[in-house]
Amino acid sequence: MLLSPNQEAAMGLSAFDEIKDEEEISDDPIANARVQRVGQRIAQSVGRDLPNAEWEFVVFESDELNAFALPGGKVGVYTGILKIAETDAELAAVMGHEIAHVSSRHGAERMSQQLLVLGGALLTEVGMEAKDVSEESRELIRTAYGLGTEVGLMLPYSRLHESEADAIGLRFAAGAGYDPRAAISFWRKMAAASKGEGSVPEFLSTHPSDDTRIKNLELLMPKYLPLYEQNRDKFSK
């Protein structure tokens, strides 16, 4: 980690302010109440996993099937994804997943990796200059270095981060009294919504394939169902 938690939080707060200035904020009272309701319960479940969070949940008016969370407890949900996440439990799976990226400091890890890759590229350039490598050979070396770091390092880490966020997100949702099985129904809907749009092989993608993700969630489910059973009545009172 080349970024401190305080640096990361400051960047998250600044980025969220910029997004709120640039994106249309939804005034739909039903959508806002729903995101606030689910968000507050998830925040209780997250607890010490995200210390000093100043929670803020904002709904953005967009057909984009997306949601995000930033360091500092800032969470954005697009109205498009609310049409897919039809139940509060499915929305909890989405928000829990995004917040899990933050609690696991995946953003800081990715930035640290990118800085290291950039440093490696600079060292490669210095080495080629010192050895007077021809321009044609330099281009081949640059291409090989770029492809090697992207496919061999960056993409696998991205898929690992996604799988880790899926698991931690289930814990956050179950701890908030939401049925974690809703994550499976949500991702099945997302898979259906993205059909026909084309896809890339999983080893060239930053995310696991839909089938891989759903299978992993099914395997994780027995671990988190007891947590859901323990907490579902606490929030219904």
Catalogue the active-site residues. 98
C-beta of residue 82 within 8 angstroms of C-beta of residue 65: no
Strand, coil or helix: what is 87? coil
C-beta of residue 72 within 8 angstroms of C-beta of residue 54: yes
First-residue to last-residue Cα distance in the chain: 42
139 alpha carbon, distance to own chain's centre: 34
CA-closest candidate to residue 167, choices 220, 235, 229, 91: 220
Overall size of the chain counted in residues: 237
H and E: helices and strands count for the chain: 9, 3
How many CA atoms lie less than 13 Å away from 227 in the CB half-sphere?
A: 18
Strand, coil or helix: what is 158? helix
| Phi, psi angle pair for 92, to nearest 5° | -65, -35
Tokens describing residue 37:
């309701």
How many CA atoms lie less than 13 Å away from 21 in the CB half-sphere?
A: 6
